[in-house]
Amino acid sequence: MAIKSVLKMGDARLWQVSEPVSHFDHADLHDLVQDLRDTMQALNGAGLAAPQIGIPLRVVIFGVQQNSRYPDAHTVPETILINPVITPVNDHTEAGWEGCLSVPSLRGMVARHLHIRYQGFDPTGALIDRTVSGFHARVVQHECDHLDGILYPMRIQDMTQFGFLDELFPERAGEE
């Protein structure tokens, strides 16, 4: 389909609560999913939520492939998750750095549940039900926050742990 422009923090549409999808396996839904996939891949993102391209529906895509430049990077299977429900498995949290295509060039330290169960549907309406940990759990929590109008800077507890990527990690200059 198409690479869409990603809304940036300050655009009021990013603060909206998105609506559930009611019709699965529908041409409009498949087109939206392809736009999300094309846009995420073009920008080399780990995930993207429909409201970030101006569509207020509860649809997210995420996935991280093995990258030869970062052999230690975590991999997350590419997943389209619709109408998600997240349930923490326990009270354990972990702080970690996050970025967002709607907040370019910045990174912030955010505490997330370390272990979660997530449930939802794929574009055909098939049930997804997974229990995951660590980076996978972080990506899902970050993307699903977008569906409730929450951007990661709103979750930063220590604002000294929020800044420009090239200042925080000079060795990673050139990334977005």
**Residue number, nearest CB to Ni ion:** 100
Which one of 78, 94, 98, 143 is the catalytic residue?
A: 143
Q: Tally Cβ neighbours within 10 Å of residue 130.
A: 15
Residues 6+ apart with CB under 8 A from 95: 109, 110, 111
Of the candidate spans 17-25, 95-103, 122-130, 164-172, the one that interacts with Ni ion by CB under 5 A turns out to be 95-103
x/- binding map, residues 98-127, to Ni ion, per CB under 5 A?
--x---------------------------
Q: Does 14 bind Ni ion (CB under 5 A)?
A: no
- Cα separation, 98 vs 141, in Å, equals 11
Provide the sign of the torsion angle of the four alpha carbons 155, 143, 35, 21, taken in this order.
negative
Residue 143 is a catalytic residue: yes
* Of 82 and 103, CB closest to Ni ion: 103
**H helical segments located in 61-159:** 134-147
* Of 32 and 100, CB closest to Ni ion: 100
Of the candidate spans 35-43, 64-72, 93-101, 165-173, the one that interacts with Ni ion by CB under 5 A turns out to be 93-101
* Of 82 and 100, CB closest to Ni ion: 100
- Cα separation, 176 vs 171, in Å, equals 13
Best CA proximity match to 113, nearest among 134, 127, 82, 85:
134
- Cα separation, 17 vs 94, in Å, equals 26
x/- binding map, residues 48-87, to Ni ion, per CB under 5 A?
----------------------------------------
Closest separation in Å from C-beta 24 to Ni ion: 24
Contact 95, 120 (CB under 8 A): no
* Of 3 and 24, CB closest to Ni ion: 3
Residues marked active site are found at 143
Site residues for Ni ion per CB under 5 A: 100
